[in-house]
Amino acid sequence: MARNQAIPGYFGKISSDHQTPSVSTWWVAVIAIIWYVGVNLVSTDALLDSVTALSMLIAFYYSLTGLACAIYYRHLVFHSRRAFFLIGLGPVIGSILLFGLLVLSAISMADPANSATGESWFGVGPPLVIGVLIFAMGVIFMVASRASGSPFWYRKPGVVDPALVPTKDGGTRERHAI
């Protein structure tokens, strides 16, 4: 995200010793420690509720990713059977299934009896509250990034490696790709 300028470039700093993201790794570690300590002060079972809430966010993300794949490559979907199944049908079916599971999961998480703590937060189960709060924080950070004038929001979308994109005749730019 830092490389693409969606977040400040500072977070993209790479450790010369380990060739891994250094600044962002430390930020994630500090946030995880704060979250762990804070949640454990509420209840040791609340950590399990946090993991359950995370599953809801993952289902949402991958559901959007499947739709984005089909929409972005819509002009290539009917160029071959392979493209139809790998670019169109597969991602859309996966997206629909994940969204359905997300809805079922949210309904289940709304019942406090289904949480690890068995408690009620704001009349619903803690995993649902945690998931919605984390989602809301993500939206707030996204809006703040856009309001800051980050170039990420104003450039035309592209692919990492154009050689992996199928051509109009159903092949690819390279033999070994997709």
In whole angstroms, how far apart are CA 89 and each of 77, 80, 120? Answer: 9, 12, 40
Position 71 in a domain: yes
| Whole-number Å distance between alpha carbons of 91 and 77 | 11
Do both 84 and 141 map to the same domain?
A: yes
When pLDDT is cut at 50, 70 and 90, the band that residue 79 belongs to is confident
Range of the domain at 6: 1-42
Residue 175 has pLDDT above 60, yes or no: no
Six-digit token string for 47: 């950590």
Digit-coded pLDDT (tens) for 140-149:
998 998 898 8
Do both 21 and 106 map to the same domain?
A: no
Do both 152 and 102 map to the same domain?
A: yes
Model confidence, pTM: 0.73
**Is pLDDT larger for residue 31 or for residue 153?**
31
Instruction: Name the least confident of 61-65, 108-112, 122-126, 174-178.
Output: 174-178
Residue 3 has pLDDT above 90, yes or no: no
Do both 33 and 110 map to the same domain?
A: no
| Whole-number Å distance between alpha carbons of 171 and 169 | 6
Could you tell me which of 147, 145, 59 has the C-alpha nearest to residue 98? 59
According to the model, what pLDDT value does residue 178 have? 43
Six-digit token string for 14: 């790479």
Six-digit token string for 13: 């700093």
- Say which DSSP state 11 is in: G
Do both 32 and 47 map to the same domain?
A: no
Over range 103-123, report the average pLDDT.
Answer: 89
| Whole-number Å distance between alpha carbons of 20 and 57 | 25
